[in-house]
Structure 1
Amino acid sequence: MKRFRLPSINFELLFILFIGLIPLLWYKDGFMGFGHDMGFPLAPIDHFQDRLYTWTDRLGPFGSNSIQVLPGVFMHGLEALLASFGIHLLEVQKITFIFWFVLPGITMYVLLRFLHPAKGDYPVRIFGSVFYMMNHYLLQAWTIAERTKFSIVAALPLVVLLIINVMYKKASPLKNSILLALVLFFLNGGEGIPLLITLFVVGVTTIITFFFLSNDNFWPKIKRLFIFSFLSLLFWILLSSYWLYPYFTSYDQTFGQRFEEAWGTAGAISWSQGVSASTSWINLFKLQGIPDWYSSPTHPYANAFFSNPILIFLGLMFPIIALVGWLKRRVGEKLVLNTRIYFLVLLLIAVPLSAGSHSPLGIFYDYLLVNFPGFVMFRSGFFKFGMIIWFAYAYLIAVGLKELIGWIKIRFALRFQKFVPAIFTGSFVLFIFIYNYPFFTGSFFDYAESRSTMVNVPGYIFEAKRELDRNKFSTRTLYLPNTDLRTEYIEYDWGYFSLVDLPDAMGRKSSVTNDVLTRTNETNLIVGTLSEYIKFGNSNLVKFTGVDRVIVQNDFVSPDYENNPLSGIEESFTKSKDFTLDKSIGRWDFYGYNKETIPQIYSPSAITFISAGKEDLDIVVNLPGVLDTPSFLRSDYPEDSNNKEIYDKIVIQARCADCPLTDSYQIYFSTSKVLIPGTTFYELGKFITSVRKYLAGSPNARLEINLSISTTLISDLGSIQAKSDEKGVRVVVRDLVKNLEEIKFNLEEISDSKVKREALKKIHFFLSFFVSY
């Protein structure tokens, strides 16, 4: 009778799945991952439902466009699905973390099973999969559980598999393009455009490499490539149209201006050089160079990898093993050799990109940041391209291990040879565990000396959420104390620390507070309202916020600093007759508004125009009769009132006409390192800059580019004068004059009077600074 045998794939996958349970070791009683940029919600179902709309009341004090987070529907859909079954929130997070922890290992296993299907190649499959899911690149990402990054890391092996299947094994372009579109439909990086472009770099490298490595005739390969690329793009656009369409239509009118705001070039080089300070090629080839390791002396585990001899040895051993696979002259099947060539090419491309602004090619990277349209989104090169290094090494080290096992195996007696692969595979998996020991301790959550993303959320926070949910109306809640106006940090004494408001994670209710998403005019209204209570004990502005409730958070770490304009705000509210204490839930006190609020949408019968500085708004609105009308419009300048017939009254604050400007702007100087004025490369750089100006969608965006160019030219002028380069001086002076003329032209092209005034103030500041430079 033939004995039943389970396929080896079951044991290999079971082993990988078992390792995937490691996140269960991270939890202490009552603690969960929360805070910083983790983005894990306390209300998963609410969070998921919010992703189904292009507008949200949850973000910002008065709502926000949420088109950019639409693709996150799948990542948060998993959390919502688990919560809908009645699973406790902590267990939802554990299951979610296990899923994202093991998924890269599973997808890598699928790729390795495709490339090395032989039964005896299980060391390649097991080691490569475990290395890909447990490495230092993902370790730093787990500090805030970057599910967007994990989704792209998990998609990488599948994308490569499908491309190889079409370009090398001549599989159906139609079938594989559908599969590729489905992979990117679910594992879309949460609309992280830089991460998607990283995936695109890998895809293009894979296509080009296997195009030349394939023995097929040229034109059949071209045909197959065109069909596969076209269908993949078509199916991806169709499946992703739910976010692509609103995303690009929202940028239709002012794409250039919004692009500059989102990824402006100001400070890009300084930022990149900071991130790339330790990303030398040597460090990257050693699988190190993680920026946080070198910038923080209190890093929870980095020092061990610089001082512990065992960890130092392992850090050198893994790259050396990757080279072992190239020592064997004959590698058998040609696909194996071609695959090794491909992953080596991928590694050699990824290292310079991940090094960013670091030498030896950092000067070219800096040039691209400033001059190549859109490249500024890669100012954090290591975090965007580093995943490719670990992806390539996962394969190269796994294949090197196989060759090492084969070399050692023949030196044992025949009866012992069958045990060698298992022993060595187990030993090297153990080495992975040792080298990545923080995965077992959870110390990576402690990102600073006194800060962690693993916190114990008090029970009254959840009770407060239930209380807020009982209000079925579209009203707002004001949270006190106010955040630090200087840093916008949100901090609670039980461990939460972030730039994101705690109420944003609690549900879909609107919360009025100053945070990183608050617009300037919204901040002015909030600060003006709170300042009224401090100065007068009541507020004429509070009704315009739509607030019907105030929560005084006694666990909030109040910003206590000199000249804080909002010190003592809680006491002012408790004494105000506008609000009455309803109840206390834990350390949160709920106050109800005693007066009638203005609806969020209404048609006013009269409007007051107020021309006053934002810092004086609280005083102006308390002048007799100023806010008798049900609405008002505030501006710094009276000429913003273009149609005076619509206003019931106009209030203008007197101002100093000749006082110096008090506004200041950040100026970043960066002398040209390669594009020396007067050289051929300099003229090429000017051409690329002209392309950037052309792509800029508004005069204001072009003006920002001109100001950035001016700082470089001024810096170049000082550098060239020191070298007595007369030709270079003439070139810089000529271009500086031309640039000033363009600034004047672009300023005159701005039609919006308010934007034009702001631009004029900025130009004034820059020119004044240049004169004194």
Structure 2
Amino acid sequence: MFKKYKDIIRDIVIIFFLSLTPLLWFRSDMVMAGHDLVAPLDPKVFFTGRLSPWIDQFYGQSQVLILGTIPIHFIDAIPSYLGLSLQAGQKLVYIFWFFLIGLSAYTLAHVLNSKSSIFKITASLLYQFNFFILQGWWIAEKSKFSAYIAAPLVLSVFLLVEKGNVSLLSGVVLNSFVLFLFNAGGLFGLPLYGGFFVIIGSFILFSVTENLFKKNFTAVKKILWLTALTIVLGGMMNAYAFLPAMMQLRSQVGQGIAAIGGVSGIISWAGEISANASLLNLMRLEGIAEWYDNPEHPYAKFFLSNPILIAVSFLWAILSFASLYFVREKEAKRKILYFFFLYLIGIFFAAGTHPPLGFLYQMLVEKVPGFFIFRSPYFKFASGLFLANAILLAYVMDALPKRIRLGLTSVFLAIVLLYHFPFFMGNFFEWRKGFSTRLAVPPYVFEFGAWLNGKKDIGRILMLPPDSPDLQYSLYTWGYLSFQALPTLLSNASVVIDNDKLNSPERILTLELYNAILEGNSQKVAQLTSLLGITHVVIQNDTAIPDISSIPTEIKLYSQGIIKTGLFEEEKIFDQWEVFRRKKEGPGNFYTVGYPSLVDGSVEDNGAYVNQPDLADAFIFKSENVNTNVLAFGQTIIVPQCLTCPRKNKPEVVFPERNILPGDPLYAVILLSEQLRARPTDPRGIIYNTLGISLKRVSEINQMMFEKRPLTKVITDRYISLLQTIKTNFENLPTFEEKITVARDTQQYLRAERNFLRPNLGSSVTAGSQTVLAGSIFSALSEVEAILDPYIAPLEDQNSRLYQFNLSDDNTFGVYLRSADIKEYARNKSTFLLTIDNSVVREVNLDTAMQEEWLPFGTVRVGKGFHTVKLSLPPTVEMAYPLTPIETEFSSKGENSCFGTTVSPLVHDKLYRMWLRYLNDFSDNLILFAWEHQPDGTQRLISAVKLLEGPFEEKQEQIVEVSSGVTQITLALCAPNLTIERAEKQFNLSISEIIYPAIIFTSTTNKPSATESVGYTRYSPTRYEVTLGQNVSYPMLLVFPQRFDPWWQIKGVDARHITVNGYANGWIIERPTSSPLIVEYKGREYFRLGLIITAISILLGLVIVRKRKGK
């Protein structure tokens, strides 16, 4: 038997020897961690956490989309269960994946040509050693490796079934087991199967087409049945991951697309990834975006500049094409045709949106449902190209004359290994200067993890200082940089830091807590830690200060804040990490609240209500529509919504170039394509969609005027009908607030369109019917603008703010103004006037001291219904800034001149309005730039706005929000014909601070809230038993301070599930019971059902294999 398989054993030994390459990557006590590398620092704990559809980390989070990673993390954990060290375990895991990559290619090669070791070793080595897979090794993309391994194995089964060497049912079972073991992380890892789909899809297309031509319908049916049954049984074997994920994904697909910028955002990202994926680069097996974008890339520079390496890179393409010529054997020729077909298809998909065929890929993203998941074309599809290349080159080596075959193949394989020398250097882990995914983790980090895992029911820990909200990654002085919070690699406990795992409400509330700690505000810290369930804080003295952050991240500021609050006491020190425990315990993991607070506001307004002394341990937003006859509230807090506080700049209007104009032969096609596109149905969506179309019509009209082509009534009516659509839908907007927002944006568009067309009057359009038609356009514009004006007027008043709120019942309120928002006015002892519904007036005279956090306007009785509040401010002070010659990165002597100014001092997190009044009658390329001066002395460009050209004076408004550490900005105007005389006479720049004071109404007759901790038994992260207590009769609110998820449910009592405290789960229980209640996550049911289906499918597969083996 040994003789029979000795060649195979020898080949596998060679592959295994090459698979020991990862041993060269490990240095002394270093391990792999950081960046996107999900490498657990406690693999056993990490694996057990993955076995549940819910985990306590952060504020609790669903894991139903990543349950498919269980096999991958089980492999990570095996060495730990065997008692090996972390580094030894990582070595074994890396060797395991490296070996399986080679073995999978060897399996396919053996199916294609079982007799030639040269063929099999060549294919395996090329599949193991290439830059596509090396790009995955620096962050150990085990999900990618999983899909990369599955493709050759499943293709092998397809080939065997097609040839009749394996029965259809056995093939289905084999494929299903492969997809079960190598599932790329489940449904969430489906995009990584892009190359797999290309490989198998190409084979199905090739085989079916060929057999149809041969009229071999049996083979066609066999392949199609194999495909269909593999999908069914493979899906059933992965039901433990697929079932819960699909149930949840139904409601999240649209949100996922929106989160990455919609389809246009996906295409834009694909364009970046495909920028260098040209035909030539892909044929040379290059084209990875980071090679060209990252000047610090550890090895790309050698392959982009060294002439020898560049010459060798052409060898792969030459030999791939040579396979069509060198191989003559008929059966091998057929296989080569398939792999060459795969080679071409692989190039097309890996190229993504790169010309010349990129438009087809873009069409697939836009038109094919679900194709948006492949937003990084090269990384998702290139595996098909590399597999095809490996097999084609293996055929070439095997076709060499026997007398030179072994020698030339040995030389060739040596060239392959030498060419891929970065595999043996190990420097590819250093992805950025000072940062690497190979690093030495300090011992105290592991000690902290062990302590945390040994504490039961520790509560929730807040890590200090925060990550930069702008960057959202953790950064340590010892080289760790990652979006993966370090504690999540050590423990499954609830540890919070502000990274991208927090949803919007959680992030807002957490940042508010960070700011309260910075201020040392004891009352606010106590309130927020109670609401958020924070029991401990950890001060990390080894964090590094990020380049950009909108909040301070200096360690000492948070240490001082914690001490100043007096709320915490030291519990444990782990070298650089200090653990503090809250002195007074919070309400716990489950608690009930009688008489919670009712808040008419949003999470974004939390700074206005969180610090209120009478705020209960639970508050409910009015938007939850809780019936006050069912649940009584102890206090009502209203944060009126500011209608005239725009916090964003007006939209920048860009007119598209139009080459096809009305009257041209293809213009009807343009109009038809616009009509066929999906359109929004809500009034606001219709308005913004219509504004986009109107830009096209205006560009066409402008071009026709410029070319002095005659306008017709049909052309102008087409544009005027769009204005009528805007007018009609504006009137249908449901709220006053929405009309103010939409009016502001619409005015910006219409004003730009008017100014775009206006220069044609008197030049291109001078008299006759053309003047009448042009006049009808301007009249229609004026008609729409007249409707918008009443809603624009409040925005133009710089010395007042307009608010609104709605009451369901009469009540008496105390009215307060937040003093921190109006400090600038205190110097002049200014007066503020408050008008409610244009009748009730209250007045506040500022004291320079302003000791109180909230300034009282007194009490007021407010009736049921809609109300407006107007706050009159003292006159805004505008500071004028002269423009002087300035050197910028856009200055070019004799070609482009810049004039500007530096504005300082500015205050972090405040808003400033920049007004530029200008007359630009000299340049169509006048641009206003703005730079922030960073703490490290560098400047960061934050905006660039092209200014309108025309004979009339214009006004440009820009809102600037100051980032952390920034105290000054530079503004500059740059244009080819800009002179000092023009800068002085035609431009007027002024800056003022924007004041948006917070106003709150708090009810004056309040009931004290009744908070009681609730006894519970925790069976798992997804199941609790809760006991409310004896003799409870009144309606109550049960609070569970983990992330709100509609899948959390309570059993044993009728209850309404709502969001509490802006982020958490709560149940309104009308008739409490003393019987035990079960709180359970619904994902648990789907997971258990999926496990049953998986187990039955595996057993079915084993039975089929056993029966086939018996036959």
Return the letter of the residue paired with 2:97: W
CA contact (8 A) 2:22 2:95 kept: yes
TM-score normalized by the length of structure 1: 0.86
Question: 2:114 maps to which residue?
Answer: 117
Return the letter of the residue paired with 2:537: V
Question: 2:293 maps to which residue?
Answer: 295
CA contact (8 A) 1:266 1:708 kept: no
* Aligned counterparts of 1:220 and 1:515: Cα–Cα separation in 2: 56
CA contact (8 A) 2:530 2:587 kept: yes
Within 5 Å, which residues of 2 pair with 1:70-219? 70-118=67-115, 121-169=116-164, 171-191=166-186, 192-214=189-211, 217-219=215-217
Q: What secondary structure is seen at the aligned counterpart in 2 of 1:267?
A: helix
- Compute the displacement of 1:620 (Å): 3.1
Residue of structure 1 aligned with 2:598, choices 604, 609, 613 = 609
Residue of structure 2 aligned with 1:472, choices 449, 456, 459 = 456
Question: 2:279 maps to which residue?
Answer: 281
* Aligned counterparts of 2:54 and 2:210: Cα–Cα separation in 1: 49
* Aligned counterparts of 1:659 and 1:534: Cα–Cα separation in 2: 27
* Aligned counterparts of 1:735 and 1:81: Cα–Cα separation in 2: 69
Return the letter of the residue paired with 2:509: L
* Aligned counterparts of 1:239 and 1:3: Cα–Cα separation in 2: 35
The CA RMSD over aligned residues, in Å, is 3.5
584-593 vs 367-376, which moves further: 367-376
- Compute the displacement of 1:772 (Å): 5.9
CA contact (8 A) 1:263 1:374 kept: no
Question: 1:657 maps to which residue?
Answer: 643
* Aligned counterparts of 2:93 and 2:717: Cα–Cα separation in 1: 59
CA contact (8 A) 2:32 2:439 kept: yes
* Aligned counterparts of 2:285 and 2:715: Cα–Cα separation in 1: 44
Question: 1:600 maps to which residue?
Answer: 589
Within 5 Å, which residues of 2 pair with 1:381-396? 381-396=377-392
Within 5 Å, which residues of 2 pair with 1:517-596? 517-538=501-522, 539=525, 540-559=527-546, 564=551, 568-596=557-585
1:714-771 Cα distance to aligned partner (Å, 9 max, x none) = 66446645654989978985996799699889987xxxx9xx98x9898667646644
Question: 1:413 maps to which residue?
Answer: none
Q: What secondary structure is seen at the aligned counterpart in 2 of 1:604?
A: strand
Question: 1:696 maps to which residue?
Answer: none
Question: 1:456 maps to which residue?
Answer: 440
Extract unaligned runs of 5+ from structure 2. Answer: 753-1111
CA contact (8 A) 1:177 1:235 kept: yes
CA contact (8 A) 2:198 2:384 kept: no
Return the letter of the residue paired with 1:528: E
CA contact (8 A) 1:605 1:630 kept: no
Q: What secondary structure is seen at the aligned counterpart in 2 of 1:571?
A: helix
* Aligned counterparts of 1:464 and 1:373: Cα–Cα separation in 2: 46
1:676-720 Cα distance to aligned partner (Å, 9 max, x none) = 984548746864x44x98xxxxx89x988x799668646644664
Return the letter of the residue paired with 1:623: Q
* Aligned counterparts of 1:396 and 1:217: Cα–Cα separation in 2: 28
Q: Indicate how the Cα distance of structure 1 residues 222 and 712 shifts in structure 2: closer, same or farther if over 3 A, else same.
A: farther
Return the letter of the residue paired with 2:369: P
Q: What secondary structure is seen at the aligned counterpart in 1 of 2:363?
A: helix
Question: 2:618 maps to which residue?
Answer: 631
Q: Indicate how the Cα distance of structure 1 residues 307 and 571 shifts in structure 2: closer, same or farther if over 3 A, else same.
A: same
* Aligned counterparts of 2:740 and 2:267: Cα–Cα separation in 1: 25
* Aligned counterparts of 1:132 and 1:742: Cα–Cα separation in 2: 62
* Aligned counterparts of 1:769 and 1:205: Cα–Cα separation in 2: 51
* Aligned counterparts of 1:57 and 1:760: Cα–Cα separation in 2: 42
Residue of structure 1 aligned with 2:344, choices 348, 352, 357 = 348
User: Does residue 56 of structure 2 align to residue 57 of structure 1?
Assistant: yes
719-728 vs 383-392, which moves further: 719-728
Residue of structure 1 aligned with 2:316, choices 300, 315, 318 = 318
68-77 vs 208-217, which moves further: 208-217
1:634-658 Cα distance to aligned partner (Å, 9 max, x none) = 5xxx666553453221111345433
Question: 2:245 maps to which residue?
Answer: 247
How many residues matched?
733
Residue of structure 1 aligned with 2:357, choices 348, 358, 361 = 361
- Compute the displacement of 1:367 (Å): 3.4
Q: Indicate how the Cα distance of structure 1 residues 734 and 575 shifts in structure 2: closer, same or farther if over 3 A, else same.
A: same
Q: What secondary structure is seen at the aligned counterpart in 2 of 1:609?
A: strand
More strand by share: 2
- Aligned-residue identity in percent: 27
- Compute the displacement of 1:351 (Å): 1.2
- Compute the displacement of 1:314 (Å): 1.3
1:414-473 Cα distance to aligned partner (Å, 9 max, x none) = xxx2xx332222211111111111100112111122321111100110001111112111
- Compute the displacement of 1:633 (Å): 2.9
CA contact (8 A) 1:609 1:641 kept: no
Q: What secondary structure is seen at the aligned counterpart in 1 of 2:150?
A: helix
CA contact (8 A) 2:257 2:263 kept: no
Give 1 or 2 for the bigger CA radius of gyration. Answer: 2
* Aligned counterparts of 2:666 and 2:503: Cα–Cα separation in 1: 40
- Compute the displacement of 1:398 (Å): 1.4
* Aligned counterparts of 2:396 and 2:573: Cα–Cα separation in 1: 63
Question: 1:238 maps to which residue?
Answer: 236
Question: 2:472 maps to which residue?
Answer: 488
99-108 vs 214-223, which moves further: 214-223
1:334-389 Cα distance to aligned partner (Å, 9 max, x none) = 33111101011111112121111111112232333334433222221111111111
209-218 vs 233-242, which moves further: 209-218
CA contact (8 A) 1:68 1:247 kept: yes
Question: 1:264 maps to which residue?
Answer: 262
Question: 2:852 maps to which residue?
Answer: none
* Aligned counterparts of 1:707 and 1:373: Cα–Cα separation in 2: 26
- Compute the displacement of 1:17 (Å): 0.6
CA contact (8 A) 1:465 1:506 kept: yes
CA contact (8 A) 1:276 1:291 kept: yes
Q: What secondary structure is seen at the aligned counterpart in 1 of 2:445?
A: helix
* Aligned counterparts of 1:453 and 1:145: Cα–Cα separation in 2: 9
Return the letter of the residue paired with 1:499: F
* Aligned counterparts of 2:516 and 2:611: Cα–Cα separation in 1: 8
* Aligned counterparts of 1:3 and 1:197: Cα–Cα separation in 2: 39
CA contact (8 A) 1:324 1:401 kept: no
CA contact (8 A) 2:605 2:639 kept: no
CA contact (8 A) 2:471 2:548 kept: no
Residue of structure 2 aligned with 1:516, choices 500, 518, 528 = 500
Q: What secondary structure is seen at the aligned counterpart in 2 of 1:582?
A: strand
* Aligned counterparts of 2:691 and 2:368: Cα–Cα separation in 1: 18
Extract unaligned runs of 5+ from structure 1. Answer: 410-416, 694-698
Q: Indicate how the Cα distance of structure 1 residues 40 and 680 shifts in structure 2: closer, same or farther if over 3 A, else same.
A: same
CA contact (8 A) 2:444 2:575 kept: yes
Return the letter of the residue paired with 2:468: D
Question: 1:422 maps to which residue?
Answer: 406
* Aligned counterparts of 1:632 and 1:437: Cα–Cα separation in 2: 61
Q: Indicate how the Cα distance of structure 1 residues 608 and 663 shifts in structure 2: closer, same or farther if over 3 A, else same.
A: farther
